[in-house]
Amino acid sequence: MAYTTIDKSSLHFNTKLYTGNGSTNAQTGVGFTPSFTWIKNRGDTHAHVLVDAVRGVTKELRSNGTNAEITTSNSFTSFDSDGFTLGADSTDSYNKNSNNYVSWNWLANGQGSSNTEGDITATVSANTTSGFSIIKFTSAGSVSQTYGHGLNGTPKLWMIKDTSTSSNNWQVYYNGTNRLKLDTDEGSSTTASQLMSANATTITTPSYSDGAWGNGNGLNYITYAFQEIKGFSKIGTYTGTANADGAFVYTGMSPAFVMIKKVSGSGYDWFIFDNKRLGYNDANKKLVANDQSAEADTSPAGQIDVLSNGFKIRTTDGHIADASEYLYIAFASEPLVSSNGVPNTAK
């Protein structure tokens, strides 16, 4: 059996850096037509903005807040064959003149199509090769219901947001046993009645009725679901060592993107690293998914080494390094071994 089915990871996920110009701004070099783009102003305190092709290019969500979906008609204007185009943005979150930005881009299947595999008919845009799908649905308000995710296997992690109101948090589910909130620094919950589950075709909302978890009557929801794919994506946990010669996390590929969150306790942020912003060890600067702060490598430091087969913690910062359990999600720049058995170059 081949080590990986994806030899060129950048055809499915890619980080694109760009500089704003305050006017029409076409960005190329992504390598594909994105279906989901997450943008952050690197040098200023503006919101993380998330746009996908299923909800439509003018519809913004924010990872660092509970905001309902916002329409920004002249900010993100199109997904293109090799990237995306921005308009004359007035919010500074997309395209302020001379500001530096990072965009993280995932390939799905454009605007998607109807999926009737669950109790609820959903609109699903799925990339079954890379194990990523975008799911939009409207809840019927029943206590527990299912909706299809369109993947070829069970997602290991998914994020769900009520897009209709500003009162509900982002919910992040992983391993079928834990729930975190993407927009807060809170620890995980394992309360059974609040957990969602998934199988090879559907995701099931909790038995406990609450608008945050997919069963608010008449509310609209978006889900980003991730199936683990060998050599391309890795989702799991590690235990920190509380010293600068920190934990090594084997991923089976060289990461292009790593997001880390301490599982227990409050006051610990979602740290994001990638291989494009500076991109050399151990000066990988962090951004914080639940906060609009600019990128930083100062206290809390949060520095990692990106290796050919995983990543290594190089800080004592408790957000990613103390003797606790941490959740991580990583996407590849290239696999450890290609489909024809050729090893990745060591880093």
pLDDT digit string, tens, across residues 234-284: 999 999 999 889 999 999 999 999 999 999 999 999 999 999 997 667 767
Number of neighbouring beta carbons within 10 Å of residue 271? 26
Peptide bond before residue 255 is cis, with ω within 30 degrees of 0: no
As a whole number of angstroms, the distance between CA 75 and CA 236 comes to 35
As a whole number of angstroms, the distance between CA 157 and CA 261 comes to 13
Q: What is the predicted pLDDT for the residue at 281?
A: 75
Nearest one of 71, 54, 66, 146 to 106, comparing CA atoms: 54
Q: How many residues does the chain have?
A: 347
As a whole number of angstroms, the distance between CA 324 and CA 261 comes to 11
pLDDT tens for the chain, 347 residues long, are 458 889 999 999 999 999 999 999 999 999 999 999 999 999 999 999 999 999 999 999 999 999 999 999 899 999 999 999 999 976 789 999 999 999 999 999 999 999 999 999 999 999 999 999 999 999 988 788 999 999 999 999 999 999 999 989 999 999 877 899 999 999 998 888 888 999 999 999 987 777 888 888 899 999 999 999 999 999 999 999 998 899 999 999 999 999 999 999 999 999 999 999 976 677 678 999 999 999 987 555 558 999 999 999 998 888 999 999 999 999 999 887 877 777 766 44
Nearest one of 102, 150, 124, 132 to 9, comparing CA atoms: 132
As a whole number of angstroms, the distance between CA 206 and CA 142 comes to 10
End-to-end CA distance of the chain: 26
Q: What is the predicted pLDDT for the residue at 1?
A: 45
The Cα-based distances of 172 to 91, 212, 219 in angstroms read: 27, 11, 18
Q: What is the predicted pLDDT for the residue at 346?
A: 47
